[in-house]
Amino acid sequence: MSMLETQALTREFGGVIAVNKVDFFVEKNMITGLIGPNGAGKTTLFNNITGLDTPTSGKVFFEGKEITGTPADRVCRLGIARTFQNIRLFKELSVIDNVMVGRHFHAGNSHNRTIQAILSYLNVEKEEKKTYLDAMKWLEFFGLENLRNEKAKNLPYGYQRELEIARALATEPRLLFLDEPAAGMNPQETEDLMKTIRRIRDIGVTVVLIEHDMKLVMNICDNITVLNYGQKIAQGTAMEIQSNPAVIEAYLGKDEDEEDDEE
Amino acid sequence: MLNFFILILIYTCIYAFMSLGQNLITGYSGMLSLCAAGFFAIGSYTTAILTTSFGWSFWATLPIAALLSALMGVLIGLPTLRLKGDYLAIATLGFAEIVRNIINNWDALTNGPMGIQRIPMITIFGIKISPYQKYGFLLMEIIMLLICWFLFERLASSRMGRALEAIREDEIAANSMGINVTKYKVVSFALGAAVTGIAGCLQAEFTLSVSPGSYVFMVSIMVLCTVVLGGMGNFVAVILGAFIIQFISYLPQLIGLSNIIPAQAKQIIFGLILVIMMIYRPQGILGRKERNNKKAEKNWLLNKKEAINEHA
Ligand SMILES: Nc1ncnc2c1ncn2[C@@H]1O[C@H](COP(=O)(O)OP(=O)(O)O)[C@@H](O)[C@H]1O
Ligand SMILES: [Mg+2]
């Protein structure tokens, strides 16, 4: 069985079938790409896997266990983290606090430590120091440590995207979902992002990314799944996808035409 | 005059307890709740009934009142906390009105509109804390308030406080970071309710009587005002807010103009304060207290230096 698998996953919104009987596979230690035109259902598929949305039918398996309909916080604790297409940082909190939120459930080992948080000054201080150190490792991973005390909302766009990934990684996921991480980035930033994604893979985190930047997808993805109108129309390596007629028709063809027009 | 100022301080303390609770619920967790009056009433009546009908000591009623308020907080929290902004405000407002109606009509328990009189005074080690000798009462209040304030401050600086702020900033993102949003919302609601209940106990012991007329919607508005005025997410600021609100509401009496300025004028003033603050200084007088990671940061810098030295 693959690390993550969906079986005939379907999500309907009223009459719209946003995701239609999709079998999606993610192999361990690989970078998987999820592509498709706007409105193809990519974000909806992410949401239904990560617990922010509940599928109409179908199943989700993670590391052999069924997780269909598990709430988002439990999915995260199971080892799946994510970022969002429209950046969702804790804007008024500092950069380091954003990452420390990602350490939240690692910091507490007993079930409910509210009482302890109120009563034990020493424990809280010790716990906070450790959380800070653990969080700082992820800021250093992205070279953001000098911005640690800035408010998240004051960061330049590209850094905000990186901070969101840092925050997700701080939860120590085995599987990381990135929803259009390069959106709004310039070519240099996109280049850096590619290197970063490879580094994330190299530390043992399996990555799934939704991306519109074809160059990025074809370059770094070991495996690509293509959605169109909620259905999976192809799956394979970059080479296979590039030469797949259905894909060319639905997506790449149009895209290349546009690029040709621009040139 | 001085006596009157002490009276203002005594009410400042009572409201400060409620402000702490409202600040946790609204300032930290970002939930617009409007039912302080409900929990205030539950606290007051718990103390009033247990001391008069069952002969309990005030100190024994205190934890019961806090627990009962917290329990009510959980009961109304579970179904309503999923509601957003205005909807939550309306639902909680409804709850406070239900509480007031119950105490107004459950004659057998609460003596209805007549209320409960002759509540025994608080005693500590045999010493009476009489509300007529205001200094003693004020001192006791201040000590209790300091303890509560310290505990709430600790809670806010722990990872739970950070989780609440994350929920306030972006519920969906917080949820995706492994935070059980419902659990934390309910816990903060319950703790806010508990400390508001404690304010009610003190109110009952200060006036030595309780009646439904003291637990009207205006109380919830005044408590919200203290938080908006002082500064959301800042416990010191909301205590300052409580003082200003009490000062304003007793100003006509303080300067001897209470027969010229009607009591209703304060309602207009509070409304104006809310509007003016929202337009010109939405963060409140002191503004939000930023999270303080200084000690942890120092510890990190130290560790880094050591690591570099080891390499060298
Ligand atoms: N909450 C929702 N309610 C109704 N329709 C939705 C909702 N979320 C997504 N959709 C619809 O589902 C389809 C797929 O959307 P989405 O998953 O965001 O596409 P993609 O991420 O591939 O661009 C679109 O037609 C969109 O309008
Ligand atoms: Mg999308």
Q: State the CATH number of the domain containing residue B22.
A: 1.10.3470
Contact flag A84-B155 (C-beta cutoff 8 Å): no
Q: What is the pLDDT of residue A249?
A: 82
Residue B64 has pLDDT above 70, yes or no: yes
Q: Does A148 touch chain B (CB under 8 A)?
A: yes
Per-range mean pLDDT, top range of A146-155, A214-223, A241-250: A146-155
Per-range mean pLDDT, top range of A135-139, B122-126, B271-275: A135-139
Q: How far is CA B304 from the centre of its chain?
A: 42
The chain-wide mean pLDDT, for chain B, equals: 91
Using CB atoms and an 8 Å cut-off, which of residues 237-256 of chain A contact chain B?
none
On whether the CB atoms of residues B168 and B28 are closer than 8 A, the answer is yes
How buried is residue A122: exposed, middle or buried, by Cβ count under 10 Å (0-12/13-18/19+)? exposed
Average pLDDT over residues B219-234: 93
From residue B286, alpha-carbon distances to B127, B180, B239 in Å are 39, 31, 11
Among A170, A193, A228, which residue terminates a domain? A170
Q: How far apart are CA A168 and CA A138, in angstroms?
A: 10
3-state secondary structure A215-233: HHHHHHCCEEEEEECCEEE
* Secondary structure letter of residue A248 according to DSSP: I
ipTM of the complex: 0.90
The chain-wide mean pLDDT, for chain A, equals: 90
Residue with the two structure tokens 């000062």: B247
Residue with the two structure tokens 């400060």: B16
Residue A252 has pLDDT above 60, yes or no: no
Q: Which residue, A169, A167, A5, A174, is CA-closest to A79?
A: A174
pLDDT above 70 covers a percentage of chain A that reads 89
Q: Does A97 touch chain B (CB under 8 A)?
A: yes
Lowest model confidence (mean pLDDT) among A12-26, A185-199, B48-62, B251-265: B251-265
Contact flag B162-A91 (C-beta cutoff 8 Å): no
Contact flag B155-A107 (C-beta cutoff 8 Å): no
Same domain, A252 and A190: yes
Lowest model confidence (mean pLDDT) among A104-113, A184-193, B279-288: A104-113
Q: What is the pLDDT of residue A262?
A: 39
Same domain, A128 and A255: no
Q: How far apart are CA A131 and CA A114, in angstroms?
A: 17
Q: Between these two residues, A89 and B126, which has the higher pLDDT value?
A: A89
pTM of the model: 0.92
Residue A261 has pLDDT above 50, yes or no: no
Structural domain harbouring B26? 2-311
Taking only the tens place, the pLDDT of each residue in B154-205 is: 899 989 999 999 999 999 999 999 999 999 999 999 999 999 999 999 999 9
For a ligand 1 pocket test, name from A10, A11, A12, A13 the mutation site with the most ligand atoms within 8 angstroms of its C-beta.
A13
On whether the CB atoms of residues A187 and A213 are closer than 8 A, the answer is no
When divided into structural domains, chain A yields a total of 2
Q: Is A34 in the pocket of ligand 1 (CB under 6 A)?
A: no
Number of residues written out for chain B: 312
Per-range mean pLDDT, top range of A33-37, B257-261, B265-269: A33-37
Q: What is the pLDDT of residue B30?
A: 92
Structural domain harbouring A21? 1-79+173-263
**Chain B residues close to A176, C-beta within 8 Å:** none
Of A90, A115, A154, which to mutate for an interface test with B (greatest number of B Cβ within 10 Å)?
A: A90
Q: What is the pLDDT of residue B119?
A: 87
On whether the CB atoms of residues A132 and B173 are closer than 8 A, the answer is no
Among A113, A143, A170, which residue terminates a domain? A170
Same domain, A19 and A72: yes
Same domain, A159 and A177: no
Q: Between these two residues, A118 and A21, which has the higher pLDDT value?
A: A21
Q: How far apart are CA A159 and CA A200, in angstroms?
A: 16
- Strands of chain A (E only): list them: 4-13, 16-22, 25-26, 31-35, 57-62, 65-66, 80-82, 175-179, 206-210, 223-228, 231-236
Lowest model confidence (mean pLDDT) among A101-115, A148-162, B111-125: A101-115
Residue A99: phi, psi to the nearest 5? -70, -35
Radius of gyration of chain A (CA): 19
- Ligand closest to A36 (CA) is 1
Q: Does B195 touch chain A (CB under 8 A)?
A: no
Q: Between these two residues, B257 and A112, which has the higher pLDDT value?
A: B257
Q: What is the pLDDT of residue A251?
A: 65
Among A114, A148, A170, which residue terminates a domain? A170
Query: How close is the Cα of A18 to the center of ligand 1, in Å?
Result: 6
Same domain, A137 and A208: no
